[in-house]
Amino acid sequence: MAADLKTVRCKNLEETKKYIFGSAVVVGYMMSRILEIDDRHQPQAAFLAEAFQYINFIRDIDEDNKRNRNYFPQDELKKHGLKDLTFDTIGNNKDGFVSFINEQLDRYFSWQNQAIAAFKYIPRRYKIPLQTAVEMYAWTGRTIRKNPMVIYERKVKPTKIRIILTGLKKIIGL
């Protein structure tokens, strides 16, 4: 995205959501059209796109720091006593960092739960890959919640075998 070619800093949630709209929500709308989902469920498509993009922001904090990007609302960082999300800053305020990450994860899970409400309108052949993706992103969120510092140690991603097994469980209805 063109915005990623320069420093990215969002002052508040409104700016963060504006960025997400251009990078993910429009894709969610396009996919809902392809899947022939009724337009009444566009809000849920937006929530799913926002949720997926947001968990990526959380997971990629360390990587984005190196590129001078921070998509999180600066006013929320400040509320937790953080000027940024660099390792040095969070090392001096680990409690504030953990509190901040938990707040962001709460938002992610809320958006995702609002999106799931429309899954009953999605044809089964499309629902299975979406449900698998939702579960894998949720796994990422739960893993980060257990140890928020993990994002500075490694990129939190499910293994291929976990993804395949989750997809198979969705296929057989477990």
Are the CB atoms for 162 and 136 separated by under 8 Å? Answer: yes
Structure tokens belonging to residue 142: 């739960």
CB-count burial class (<10 Å; 0-12, 13-18, 19+) for 54:
buried
Instruction: Give SS3 for 25.
Output: helix
Are the CB atoms for 171 and 128 separated by under 8 Å? Answer: yes
Structure tokens belonging to residue 171: 């296929």
- Among the CATH numbers 3.40.50.300, 3.40.366.30, 1.10.600.10, 3.40.50.740, which is that of 7-172? 1.10.600.10
Are the CB atoms for 80 and 50 separated by under 8 Å? Answer: no
pLDDT tens digit sequence for 81-108: 999 999 999 999 999 999 999 999 999 9
Q: Where are the domains of the chain?
A: 7-172
pLDDT tens digit sequence for 101-142: 999 999 999 999 999 988 888 877 888 999 999 999 999 999
Give dist(CA 50, CA 169) in Å, integer: 25
Averaged pLDDT for residues 76-82: 97
